[in-house]
Structure 1
């Protein structure tokens, strides 16, 4: 799986957060006589507070980012406890550990120094004449000055994003501005919806973006209700912040660590701006709900043939945000369910399919039509012609079916498709063909999870036979006598004959499928032959009987 490369920043182009580090601590005039005994690789750690330790049991009181100081008094009689304390301090995230020089011990044990070096904990030897309160005051002044600067920067960020939101530029402009501000891509990820991406992710090559998009789902980044860092499957680290939503699907604002490391002030910015993203998301939801109602009605009118002119189609397509360009070849699909779905659920599924980012097809439209769910499948990217094009379209529908089953959690879904049309005004015919394919497949029990109108074969001809004298004569000759015998208690003759044909003339298999004795099936088939005056060993008679049964199941169609 391809992974989107992490960009390298040019020297000096990375925005460095203002921090008071251990290295800067050593430059304080009050510590000009101090020595760094160990932990040189940790001198860039940020100091956020100061703590003075004069009791041995201090480990439960320390906090990450602290500069911990001691006179050494708690360890004057048990220096080995100091060696045990160092790994615990490093584990707790202490920024640096300072011990006063020759106050209660002449020299620090070398084991303590080695332990500090091993864990990268800066170990400072403080001058013996230093006053802790003076050092605490100086350090905290520096820390507070840095925090004040960060708070001012955070306030400026929030104000600039608020102004942008009030201008009504939209969610994508909001995310693009966040990317410029944080120097990393951002996204809004919502439950059962495709993500909104900032500009660098939208403009990237699909082969680069797709692995990241596979992980940018609410199932991956929206786990739990708390904010925090997480590592995606493609090795990208992200910070996710829950977006406050009311009467909407759950969502979160995600910062992707692609260009540079995520800084603490970036985390604060994402947490604060998630509320603004929630306001814009509510606006998007309101617009989408209105557009969705218009789009549902547009698709219903389009598929039912109520849009009669091309100009009318263009106008309504623009108003509804129809994503299919004019002149794109397309076909209509009907979704077949194992059990019928209520109309409200069909509307929700249609809205979800229109908002999902599907791998198999781009620009899929969906709408409920009565008790059915209709799909409009654009296939303009298929360059083949003739039979090759039909086969490519069939493969595309197969991929779409697999994705729909996974997305909707319905393993028994089927798709019924009409013919490909080149013009928008031909879609009505394609939808009618899809419905015919479903009806014929159900009454004739056609196998397969995808039924195309063009592949119905003889069944499509039977469907088109209109009501008339010839049709009735044919049914009266081969079908009506068996139905009449069954009504009089003739012994399930029609059912037995249908199963006999379905089992390819295998009597033993027919008896097993009907849970009847072998001799019972033989008796019923002999009675069929006697009533109709035919022989099931004659291929011509078997063909006539089979066609009569299928024709009797199909509602008479129209030659038009």
Structure 2
């Protein structure tokens, strides 16, 4: 586990009286016959309580900092259960485990000793004449004296952090002060949101802390409903305290054991300060709600072309906290493939995408536009022109699609992208191209999970053909007669011809797709040729028919 430089001590962060540790416990005369069997590396762990448990589910009752003593009665018939209990006790922050022998175990099972050594849990073999009540009495005399000092320390910590929040310093200053106080980094992790990190994690090298940052999500640290210790990525030991929230997303305050071992006073501090963090989160939520409304309106006006001057764009971008620097290449993307969502759901998805930490892209903006979900995708350092630029853009959109599918839980998600633009006033055109790509792809059955405007080819030209005499004459020659025949006789000629082209002229595959007999498809195609006076064996005739079908489905555009 990488270590960060030790920070300066925060006022009131250290108790004047030394803590009572497992090593101190071994030194008391009452336990002179006790033997340390395993876990010597954890011998400096603080003891805050002594717990005596003889129930088989003792794991549910222990608390961080406790030294647990047992005769082993619940495990006398199955020592394997005792071995399985050891890692769970470590996760819950138990200081050590003492097992009284002779009563039910002549000696501690070797597999239990090996597991304790592996987990670093101090394991003591207590002699048969050890009285648990005497151990409790001696330890608690020492612990209570220390707790008096710790309570004063804890009160000073809470007062200092309360003053910090009252000064209006904000959540990041709150977390930075907690890191100075606890000498370990902290984080606020919230459901469907980016984590707030203290300075030790914000300033660390990304390669050093990336596994930790990946696991600092509510899906990882918010699984359980109770506060307690847990391991992240099997490396980082953390203490997680749920933040009390009302009418807000669930959140946790996480202390990461990175610079030094987490002490019991640190655990108490995190539990008490989680309430203060909840108050600051409520303030952040109120500010974000107001900013989100302005940002939604800003993006809607930007994409629809209502922001006409560069000066207006800069002003509104600054007010809304738009994170895209001026002059950054970008494109508009329409998110398709989702079922129709109500406006409130679209707004929630947009806010989630703006706040979620994405690995593929930084600074992604999202907003609902009517019934559609629009994205503004910025590009960092990409080639200026040529095939390298096109490849870099395509790769980034591919990564974005994969991440969005996992984030939104929709495997049918598709993206329709406009062209990359260099100036902010060009985004309206890129958004219009993204919508055109979606319409043409739907009408013409274009394959692929990502459809960019530049991929439309001839279909884009068909879309631009305006209504006029030539267009109507072309449709009257190759499309209208088939539609008229279908209305009169119900022969499904247009549907059959469309599927015939989609199947690349394969009659057998066409019959399978339409669930019709092979001879039925042959009859329909012969009828098409008879009505129109064409031959499907003639490439020119097939081209005319294919274009007529597509042109008839596309809404006429404008020549401008």
Q: Residue 416 of structure 2: SS of its match in structure 1?
A: strand
Shift of 1:243: 0.1
Deviations, residues 170-229 of structure 1 (Å, cap 9, x unaligned): 111111111111111100011111111111111122222221111111111111211000
Matched, 1:121 2:136: no
Are the counterparts in 2 of residues 47 and 95 from structure 1 also a CA contact under 8 Å?
Answer: no
Shift of 1:391: 1.6
Root mean square deviation of aligned Cα: 3.7
CA–CA distance in 2 between the matches of 1:62 and 1:383? 59
Which residue of structure 2 lines up, in the alignment, with residue 474 of structure 1? 474
Are the counterparts in 1 of residues 300 and 369 from structure 2 also a CA contact under 8 Å?
Answer: yes
CA–CA distance in 2 between the matches of 1:202 and 1:47? 33
Structure 1 67/418 Cα, relative in aligned 2: closer, same or farther at 3 Å?
closer
Which stretches in structure 2 are left out of the alignment for 5+ residues? Answer: 70-75, 101-105, 115-121
Question: Comparing 223-232 with 484-493, which one deviates more in the overlay?
Answer: 484-493
Alignment of 1:382-461 (within 5 A): 382-383=382-383, 385-461=385-461
Aligned length: 511
Which residue of structure 2 lines up, in the alignment, with residue 5 of structure 1? 2
CA–CA distance in 2 between the matches of 1:525 and 1:51? 86
1:36 to 32, 35, 38: 32
Q: Give 1 or 2 for the bigger CA radius of gyration.
A: 1
CA–CA distance in 1 between the matches of 2:225 and 2:202? 28
Which residue of structure 2 lines up, in the alignment, with residue 546 of structure 1? 546
Are the counterparts in 2 of residues 113 and 123 from structure 1 also a CA contact under 8 Å?
Answer: no
Shift of 1:498: 0.6
Structure 1 486/44 Cα, relative in aligned 2: closer, same or farther at 3 Å?
closer
Structure 1 397/24 Cα, relative in aligned 2: closer, same or farther at 3 Å?
closer
CA–CA distance in 1 between the matches of 2:390 and 2:167? 49
Matched, 1:377 2:377: yes
Q: Residue 225 of structure 2: SS of its match in structure 1?
A: coil
CA–CA distance in 2 between the matches of 1:546 and 1:355? 46
CA–CA distance in 2 between the matches of 1:381 and 1:322? 19
CA–CA distance in 2 between the matches of 1:161 and 1:152? 14
Shift of 1:510: 1.2
CA–CA distance in 2 between the matches of 1:221 and 1:44? 27
Deviations, residues 95-141 of structure 1 (Å, cap 9, x unaligned): 8899xxxxxxxxxxxx89999x9985387999xxxxx99x9998755
CA–CA distance in 2 between the matches of 1:515 and 1:67? 71
Structure 1 43/7 Cα, relative in aligned 2: closer, same or farther at 3 Å?
closer
Which residue of structure 2 lines up, in the alignment, with residue 483 of structure 1? 483
Which stretches in structure 1 are left out of the alignment for 5+ residues? Answer: 69-80, 99-110, 127-131
Deviations, residues 139-186 of structure 1 (Å, cap 9, x unaligned): 755433211111111111111100001011111111111111111110
CA–CA distance in 1 between the matches of 2:340 and 2:416? 15
Structure 1 371/136 Cα, relative in aligned 2: closer, same or farther at 3 Å?
closer
Are the counterparts in 1 of residues 227 and 242 from structure 2 also a CA contact under 8 Å?
Answer: yes
Deviations, residues 77-108 of structure 1 (Å, cap 9, x unaligned): xxxx9xx9xx99x999778899xxxxxxxxxx
Structure 1 113/411 Cα, relative in aligned 2: closer, same or farther at 3 Å?
closer
CA–CA distance in 2 between the matches of 1:416 and 1:390? 15
CA–CA distance in 1 between the matches of 2:98 and 2:519? 93
TM (norm. structure 2) is: 0.83
Deviations, residues 461-512 of structure 1 (Å, cap 9, x unaligned): 0001111111111111111111111111151111111111111111111111
Q: Residue 255 of structure 1: SS of its match in structure 2?
A: strand
